[in-house]
Structure 1
Amino acid sequence: MARIAPGDLCWALAMGWHDFRRAPAFGLLLTAPYALTGLALTWAAPDLAVALALGFALIAPVVAVSLYEVSRRIEAAEPLDWPAIIRVLRRRGAALPVAGGLMVLALLVWLGLWQALEGAPRIAALGLLAGGAFAATVVGWPMLLDRQGGLGRAAAASVRAVAAQPGVMAIWAVLLAVGMGLAILPGFLGLPLILPILGHASWHLYRRISR
């Protein structure tokens, strides 16, 4: 794994914006259901609206996987079409449904903790869940798509990458959290714009780390 600097984070975000402009329909169509699901859940459970807004970012990697494939195809100058993207996800992402299930489980755990805890312990619980999810997925999820490795192996490699350069990876985690916060808090309406940029950027940062 290569070392990165704060400047690489800016480069990744710029590449994320580039890929979104290159294929905006993919980003919008892939993230719109995610935003609509958030709206539906907060409407159905208004007493958990704040908890859902804070914890919904835990399952963002589930949506981002398809964006990784879009960025990979742009990078490789391969055609952008839905059937090809779906075929690649099915062929290379055998472990992704399990990984997605774990992210959904993390969200459910968070909702349970929200109801069981108050004040600082509640925020600490979210921080632990979000931090653990970030460490396991920031490199692990794009690696599952890129190298077809097992889920445990990819998560372990991701944790090692974060532990090897905690400072810059912490900055990246904060940037992702702020971006998702800006996207989710206004009624999830910012997700179709911000999440594609962050998803594409995450792919490029993975590529920079894994070179």
Structure 2
Amino acid sequence: MDLHMHGLDDHFTLPQTDKVSASRPLEWLKLGWQDFRQHPLPSLGYGLLIAIAGWLVLAVASNYTYLTSTSITGFMLLAPLGAAGIYELTSERQEGRPTSFAQSLHDLLKNLGQIAFMGVVLGSVAIGWERVSCILFALFYGGEAVNLHFFWTALLGEYWMFTAAWIFGGFVLACLTFALTAVSIPMLADREVDVVTAMMTSLRVVMENLPAMIVWAAIIVALTAIGFATGLLGLIVLFPLLGHATWIAYKELVH
């Protein structure tokens, strides 16, 4: 599907982008696994850090049940930043340099300012969504004690319209965030570019490869769901796998 996103070049200096078939994400995942096996220990180190961060987030949210869903959303928004080090691992190997966890962290310094700014952007989105969710819960639930059982019961009960609207709002936010970050974070790790250029490149890549990116987003959601279903233990492996696959997708789509 060609949505003619080249008009972005009138306002931004963007790199060349390519188009791929809808089945290509499956190959990214396969190649990502092969890449993961080239340096498993440092990759697993990043996976473990993300799992620990997730456990801490859920531990805090467990004391405030109305924050559980929004904290998970915020975690998923910010977690991709943790893959920046994984992108450096692959870059080091492709350039014939020694790979290690410490070296990948050091290499992040070359564009750390813009990566950190991306973190501020994503963090602001997460905080904004959390605030909106809290306000909506307060307005629609009328001060009732909200727990997870009450929330999901409300889906088919008195508050089903609110619940449907809330889920739809989260879906729209997730789609927009995915479009702006699909390849922007590996691009920031790979090149000395600014956040806006990286996000606009990502937007063009997604819109010009919509079928493939829908498949890719579905794979990410499915594997992340498996990670949560296993008490985040699965993310120790699945997170770096997705990181390596995302790097491969970026290098194939952006030149």
Asked if TM exceeds 0.5, the reply is: yes
Change (3 A) 1:32 1:82: closer
Match in the other structure for 1:140: 184
The alignment partner of 1:32 has SS state of helix
How much does 1:23 deviate?
1.4
Question: What are the residue-to-residue correspondences of 1:78-117 with 2, within 5 Å?
Answer: 78-117=97-136
Question: For residues 112-137 of structure 1, what are the alpha-carbon distances to aligned partners after superposition, in whole Å with 9 as ceiling and x for unaligned?
Answer: 23333441111112112211211111
Aligned pair 1:199/2:243, yes or no? Answer: yes
Match of 2:216 among 148, 172, 177: 172
- What is the distance in 2 between the residues matched to 1:53 and 1:186? 15
- SS of corresponding position for 1:93: helix
When the two chains are superposed, the root-mean-square deviation of aligned CA atoms in Å is 1.7
In the TM superposition, what is the alpha-carbon distance from 1:55 to its structure 2 partner? Answer: 4.1
Equivalent in the alignment of 2:19: 3
CA distance in structure 2 between the aligned counterparts of 1:121 and 1:112, rounded to whole angstroms: 16
- Asked if 2 retains the 8 angstrom alpha-carbon contact of 1:53 and 1:185, the reply is no
Q: Give the residue type in structure 2 aligned to 1:13.
A: L
**TM-score with structure 2 setting the length:** 0.77
The 1:36–1:84 alpha-carbon spacing in structure 2 relative to 1, beyond 3 Å, is closer
Q: Which residue of 2 aligns with 1:35?
A: 51
Comparing 27-36 and 45-54, the one that deviates more: 45-54
Q: Which runs of no fewer than 5 residues in structure 1 stay unpaired?
A: none
C-alpha distance in 2 between matches for 1:72 and 1:7: 25
The aligned amino acid for 2:235 is L
Max Rg structure:
2
Answering whether residue 68 of structure 2 is matched by residue 49 of structure 1, we say yes
> Could you say which residue in structure 2 is the equivalent of 1:123?
167
Instruction: Give the match for residue 158 of structure 2.
Output: none
Q: Deviations over 1:91-114 (max 9, x none)?
A: 133300010122222222232233
Q: Which amino acid in structure 1 is aligned with residue 45 of structure 2?
A: L
Kept after mapping to 1: 8 A contact 2:89/2:100: no
Q: Distance in 1 between matches of 2:69 and 2:184?
A: 28
C-alpha separation in 2, matches of 1:108 and 1:188: 22
Alignment-derived partner of residue 19 in structure 1: 35
SS of the residue aligned with 2:113?
coil
Say if 1:42 and 1:49, in contact at 8 Å, map to a contact too: yes
Deviations 1:126-150 (A, max 9, x none): 1122112111111211111222111
Query: Percent of counterpart pairs with the same letter?
Result: 27
CA distance in structure 2 between the aligned counterparts of 1:102 and 1:176, rounded to whole angstroms: 21
Task: Summarize deviations over 1:69-93 as a string: whole Å, max 9, x none.
Answer: 1122222332102343223210133
| Partner Cα separation in structure 2 for residue 83 and residue 32 of structure 1 | 15
Where is the helix percentage greater, Structure 1 or Structure 2? 1
Give the equivalent residue in structure 2 for 1:65: 84
Equivalences, count? 211
Corresponding residue of 2:254: 210
Counterpart of 2:206, as a letter, is: V
Q: Is the 8 A contact 2:42 2:100 kept in 1?
A: no
TM-score, normalising length: structure 1: 0.91
2:92 and 2:99 in contact (8 A); partners too: yes
- Give deviations 1:161-197, integer Å, cap 9, x for gaps: 1111212111111111111121123322211111100
Give the Cα separation in 2 of the matches to 1:181 and 1:106.
21
Instruction: Read off the aligned partner of 1:170 and give its amino acid letter.
Output: I
> Matched residue of 1:14: which SS?
helix
